[in-house]
Amino acid sequence: QVQLVESGGGLVQAGGSLRLSCAASGRTFSSYTMGWFRQAPGKEREFVAAIVRSGISTYYADSVKGRFTISRDSGKNTVYLQMNRLTPEDTAIYYCAAPGSLNIAQKKRASEYAYWGQGTQVTVSS
């Protein structure tokens, strides 16, 4: 069975950092684009970051650009999200996502992704 498991969330002060990890099993995703999304209370799930199979191209939401970095270790079938200079507006549940096909047209679109983790909570205090 395909499974994505996020870890690394927690409570952090504004200005602090966290690194999220997403470990995949049931399928090797080294040839797939991988993405991170987040959902705050009362809001829709939104795109955060994505990385292509080679890692040469990355995509970020404007709200996190310059603060967050997505990376991957294909040998470990794992994707990471390094989050720096966190603010209370970053508080949300963060989800790892993987598509069901090798090629996807819109890497920032949630509907392109078939597999989702259960999420990890990130809370940033003032």
- Report how far residue 21's alpha carbon sits from residue 15's, in angstroms, rounded to the nearest whole number: 20
Residues contacting residue 17 through CB under 8 Å, at least 6 positions apart: 82, 83, 84, 85, 86
73-106 pLDDT tens trace? 988 899 999 999 999 999 999 999 999 998 888 8
At 53 the pLDDT is 83
Residue 40 has pLDDT above 80, yes or no: yes
* Confidence grade of residue 124 (pLDDT, cut at 50, 70, 90): very high
The label of the residue with tokens 């390094």 reads 82
Cβ pair 107, 35 in contact under 8 A = yes
At 104 the pLDDT is 85
Structure tokens at 86: 């966190």
